[in-house]
Chain A
């Protein structure tokens, strides 16, 4: 190998010793990263990726130790290096960015000053002013708008995507030769994650830095890495390039990994068409909800957050409607309104034609048996101090009077239906997997045989295998019982698989509501296109990121600009977009879109 190898890993082994016993965590890992190369490491959670990242910089947890092999960084042996040698390398020549950027910064010091201080700690010869200028320059490189202004702000003013950019600057400030990026896109929304990926592509080309990009998702690594290794249970199972791995995975593990990556643009996916004469189960008409929060700048004043700004849609019996959108788009508030935990300020929600707002308390109570909710968090959404049977029987206790023995039969029947072992009936949820917990959640919702099921990111905490199983279960329940689903999700691939119609929400409004086929093959709204371009898939997306991905982040719901709320990020915004709220166009193919660019002046 030529001498321009920056990082060499040779037969590295790491073991954990817990209570006298030791367990191999990493075994026989070898790879080399050249200068200016971007090298990918992929593997599922628990495959040893993060341990590897930390082993490389001599930062292992005390319970872990290197059992063999060598790591050399530019000729320095990182395993045998003493603290002083490591200090000379870490932060100066190697930078590290992790998955949780919020903990990188001190919340009480302006970000720019923190990073400048770090630079001065590494290179004391740099002056204060000079250091800050360097930070601002790098902020511009990572596309933080108003760099000089932002550098003076506290970390709490930064959104998730922005703070991740600042964390990247923080890692690179010392003029690093190697940047280790460990799962950096994990906590971010899809469009923001796609922006960060694009940022890494740019850094690769423009900055003189080698990047070690660690991720659990091949689509994330695909556009960045020159070469990659696949990690499984602490071993390298495959070495490849992203293209070769995507096209011809050689090992069974890689094949499984690739098979699980969702596909969006294959046409053959069939969605049971909804009967045209199906009754409307749930109808939402121009629903609005504002929240008042205290204005910190005045004694008694308050400011209004417009969480939901006029949402209308109908859900027909037996259909699956998807609502997609990123964090802060009003999905959660909408869900609170639909489940009547909170009341709309304006508009009406009706169930089976009856306005919820005009129902008596008692009627609404009985209605709850027909409309059930399955929440996202498999851990938080079931009480830890109740047995599984008790949890699932709770709806029956509330809504049906029956003998304890009857109830038990119903509960165990439902458990079997959702794929839970009835033997779990008297067990506590402790130790159950996320998938089993989500089944408990689902069983609790199904035990009353509801007409409509609201699923709030129900699958997002599960791995692909579990997701696939639960989706199959949803489909089976729909054909057997005719249940109507409302999926609320940020996961486009999931929505593509299960929904017949999809609504896209942005900043409290529905910007597009069309059939599944239309949404993915003929999207109208620029935001929909941006979402589609950002979806992490291996397929060739018809919506190239360079053309459709938007910059920036949604405006704050406190200060919604006049006109179209998407105008400030929209690549095609016209002057009219900044002045007038776009009207809702009814598309000839069915569905609606709220955009000045769609509708009459478009050729359809």
Chain B
């Protein structure tokens, strides 16, 4: 066994020529105008979210009581507050951007974790089959039978929500779907002829999973995960909106919307601007995800 495992790690550090499949997909992706537009939007927003609060000096927490509910610059306001102010006179642009930054980081952490946990369990379950598979899939069923929002209330409602706990809730709600999809794909792949050929050659299970099955099963799922980033950002905002997420004064998209909803009649921008930011990010992420997936299909000849 040790012989095989040493060789396995050697194979992972494959020489440059053979890494080029991923590179070819990347080159193909970059040809897509959708990808360029998506990436452009994404970079602008993410950079903005991280840099604007630092560079502009506008503090999302500072209240200006005489300047409450000012409209955005394009709707008659001043450029001192490009997107207006909220009910406490705080700068909407910097609040939205900080909120976006938090939502994005939490969702990103959750997606990575969800994908890692779900894919690992799914691959193992599908590849091994038997009793392990049966047990793991029952766990998945149990997890799926608990509505995410109830899960969130149970965990976040009784504790003081921290970023780590929010990520935990998002991960718990998401992993079973990934596990199931990965398992189904791994199960199908396990019976393929090339896997049999590898077994006849004496390849270890780990090698077959890592070098043969995972590279076939995981990429489509990874693209789905990219799209899921958007879904999780919305879910995270929902938690905030319901008061289950990060607590004020931390500005998050959900709390901004929740606060702004009271002023919807006279200051529409407070509740709607965070939503617009969210939509643009989701759009950008979707464009990139789709372009990447199409490029992969073209390179591997699927479509």
Contact = CB atoms under 8 A, between A and B. Distances in A.
Given A397-B11, A404-B15, A431 B301 contact: yes
Interface string A343-376: 0000000000000000001101100110011011
Interface in B15-48: 15, 17-18, 20-21, 24
A331 B104 CA distance: 56
Given A389-B17, A394-B201, A341 B196 contact: yes
Nearest to B299: A428
A411 to B, nearest CB: 12
Contacts of B21: 385-387, 428
A426 interface: yes
Contacts, number: 85
A428 B299 CA distance: 9
A397 B17 contact: no
Given A390-B18, A398-B7, A426-B17, A384 B301 contact: yes
Nearest to A454: B200
B82 to A, nearest CB: 47
A377 B201 contact: no
B197 A375 contact: yes
Contacts of A369: 202
B138 interface: no
Contacts of B201: 368, 372, 394-395, 398-399, 444
A292 to B, nearest CB: 13
A380 interface: yes
Interface string A400-441: 010010000000000000000000001010110000000001
Contacts of B215: 385
Contacts of B73: none
Q: Is the interface of B mostly helix, strand, loop or mixed?
A: helix
A394 B1 CA distance: 17
B17 A380 contact: no
Given A375-B193, A398-B7, A383 B212 contact: yes
Interface in B189-224: 192-194, 196-203, 207, 212, 215-216
A387 B22 CA distance: 11
Contacts of B18: 386-387, 389-390, 426
A229 interface: no
A380 B17 CA distance: 24
Contacts of B197: 373, 375, 381-382, 441, 444
A258 to B, nearest CB: 33
B213 to A, nearest CB: 9
B4 A384 contact: no
A399 B11 CA distance: 13
A369 B11 CA distance: 18
Contacts of B299: 428, 430
B200 A372 contact: yes
A375 B196 CA distance: 9
B62 interface: no
Among B4, B196, B299, find the residue whose CB has the most chain A CB atoms closer than 10 A.
B196
A339 interface: yes
A414 to B, nearest CB: 14
B129 to A, nearest CB: 14
A428 B300 contact: yes
A377 B193 contact: yes
Contact of B199 (A341, A362, A389, A431): A341
Contacts of B20: 387, 426
B192 A380 contact: yes
Contact of A381 (B1, B3, B193, B300): B193
Nearest to B21: A385
A387 B15 CA distance: 12
A385 B193 CA distance: 14
A420 B26 CA distance: 28
A386 B3 CA distance: 23
Contacts of A389: 17-18
A339 B215 CA distance: 26
B132 to A, nearest CB: 18
Contacts of A372: 200-201
A599 B171 CA distance: 72
Contacts of B199: 339, 341
Contacts of A362: 3
A376 B196 CA distance: 12
B202 A368 contact: yes
Given A397-B7, A398-B4, A398-B203, A383 B196 contact: no
Contact of B194 (A368, A382, A387, A430): A382
Among A364, A385, A404, A431, find the residue whose CB has the most chain B CB atoms closer than 10 A.
A385
B148 to A, nearest CB: 34
Interface of B: 1, 3-4, 7, 10-11, 14-15, 17-18, 20-21, 24, 192-194, 196-203, 207, 212, 215-216, 299-301
28 contacts: A341-B196, A341-B199, A362-B3, A365-B4, A365-B202, A372-B200, A376-B193, A380-B194, A381-B194, A382-B194, A382-B197, A384-B216, A384-B301, A385-B215, A387-B17, A387-B20, A390-B18, A394-B203, A398-B4, A398-B201, A398-B203, A398-B207, A399-B201, A426-B17, A426-B18, A428-B21, A428-B301, A444-B197
Given A368-B201, A372-B200, A373-B197, 18 more contacts: A339-B199, A341-B196, A341-B200, A365-B202, A381-B193, A381-B194, A383-B212, A384-B216, A385-B21, A386-B21, A387-B20, A387-B21, A389-B17, A389-B18, A394-B203, A395-B201, A398-B7, A426-B18
- List the 6 closest A-B pairs by CB distance, nearest first: A430-B301, A381-B193, A380-B193, A368-B202, A373-B200, A365-B202
